[in-house]
Homo-oligomer: A and B are copies of this chain.
Amino acid sequence: MRVSYQELSETLRRALLTTGLEPDRAALCARLIADSTCDGVPSHGLNLFPRLMTMIRTGVVDAAARAARVSVSGAVERWDGRGGVGALNAYEAMDAAIERSREHRIGCVALANTNHWMRGGTYGWQAAGRGAIAICWTNTLPNLPPWGADAPRIGNNPLVIAVPRASGHVVLDMAMSQFSYGALAAYRSRGEPLPVPGGFDSTGQLTRDPAAIEASGRPLPIGFWKGSGLSIMLDTIAAVLSGGRATHQIAARPEEETGVSQVFVAIDVASLADRDEVTRVADAILADLHVRYPGQRTVETRARNLAEGIPVDPSAWQFARTCAAAQ
């Protein structure tokens, strides 16, 4: 089933208005969710929308709260997300980091007490669209065993890196787990093995069987001990810089996950090299790869979905339509 971008974003906007979000913020949030879905990441777009609405209704997410700047020191700001809508808080924080980078050439915003940012790549595309390099990440609830342990004590802590390029921004959006639980479920429901080992089974053997990993609760960090270490570093920096919670302080149930910490770094690359030069350098690197570059598929998917309509999950789409009709 496919719907137009206009219909998707308008439906989401009307649904969000029912939560008490201010009109301009409902429109922005709807656009961010529609963009993620259009870009081929419905898992972090429309398909997360029911959970967002539930978390607003249960009071875990406060739709009326707005993030506030707590301190400014040079090129570094601290923000308090005040438990508001994660995607809006993250968008505003990246916006502030970009503004800092206009003045100092590099800017950093650390955001405490926020909620799930939905698609992390959103904030990379946001920065690249304004000509900035972005490096940003979030911590999460404990959903991954660190290397050497069998219980989930670290987060999958998505990391986003973006470089602007006239011929298509280069945007990497990757979690520290090799496969998300959502991806494991998708492989299982299709009856397919994972393309590479994705975790341990309950006997402690590496496996490509998604169901065995769901059963053991032991998905793999990327690069085994390496991604485990990287997750720990990202969590530590996010908690230290923001003054907010670390993964071990975040509720372990997804529908109760709140108070996460995030870091947004923007670099005003235009001050170092003109836009043509950045594009020329990036083009040469990507042309030499002979494989897809990070973000390439997104650009292709976006163009196709804008032309042909955006594939939507029937039940998530029905949920959004029902919410919108209740306005």
Contacts from A to B (Cβ < 8 Å): 71, 73-76, 78, 103-108, 110, 133, 135, 146-149, 151, 153-154, 159, 161, 163, 170, 172, 174, 178, 195-197, 206, 222-224, 226-230, 232-237, 239-241, 243, 246-248, 265, 267-269, 271-273, 277-278, 281-282, 284-286, 288-294
Partner of A74 from B75, B206, B223, B229 at Cβ < 8 Å:
B75
In angstroms, Cα B221 to Cα A196, docked, is 13
Nearest B residue to A108 via CB reads B106
Q: Which residues of B contact A154 (CB under 8 A)?
A: 289
Q: Which residues of B contact A224 (CB under 8 A)?
A: 178, 195-196, 222
Copies of this chain per assembly: 2
Partner of A288 from B74, B153, B233, B288 at Cβ < 8 Å:
B153
* 17 A-B pairs in the complex with CB atoms less than 8 angstroms apart: A73-B272, A75-B106, A147-B291, A149-B290, A151-B290, A161-B230, A170-B233, A178-B223, A178-B224, A196-B197, A196-B224, A197-B197, A222-B226, A226-B227, A233-B294, A236-B282, A246-B284
Nearest B residue to A197 via CB reads B197
Partner of A223 from B76, B108, B195, B222 at Cβ < 8 Å:
B222
Contact across chains for B289 and A146 when beta carbons are under 8 A apart: yes
Q: Which residues of B contact A106 (CB under 8 A)?
A: 74-76, 104, 106-108, 265
In angstroms, Cα B161 to Cα A297, docked, is 29
Nearest B residue to A222 via CB reads B223
Contact across chains for A285 and B247 when beta carbons are under 8 A apart: yes
Q: Which residues of B contact A149 (CB under 8 A)?
A: 289-291
